[in-house]
Amino acid sequence: MSQGAGEDVLWFWRHAETALKAARQNLQIDPSTAVNRAYYAAFYAVSALFASEGRTYTRHSAVETAVHRDLVNTGRWTQDLGAAYRELHSLRTAADYDVSAFPTAERAQEAVQQAHTILEAVRASCPQLG
């Protein structure tokens, strides 16, 4: 991205909110899409948090590593939040690429709730999001 750090934060955050809204809208239509959008909501939210600290990552695995290294292992986030992020990433990968891993409506609802919880944690940690 060529914009300033503050603009990066807001860009990622807008995408996080849009993805969470799409996840909620897809719960009744397509649980796989809901799971995908829930993961991306969390991914973009965490990316906003890291951008607020002057860091951006281009790989999903790098973001997941940073979540655990810089948020969970330092005590900024609970183990549960880190586990939720890891689970969303795994669930999204399975839903997108494994034809035998179609998520249930209940599991998709849980994923949306996990994403919502992650967005709230990011909002609490990131002053720019007030």
Q: Over the stretch 85-129, which tens digit does the pLDDT of each residue have?
A: 999 999 998 888 877 778 899 999 999 999 999 999 999 998 888
How many structural domains are present in the chain? Answer: 1
Assigned token pair, 82 = 């880190």
Residue 3 confidence class, pLDDT cut points 50, 70, 90: low
Q: How far apart are CA 128 and CA 107, in angstroms?
A: 32
* Domain interval for residue 35: 5-129
The pTM (predicted TM-score) of the whole model is 0.92
What CATH number has the domain bearing residue 39? 1.20.120.330
pLDDT at residue 44, rounded to an integer: 97
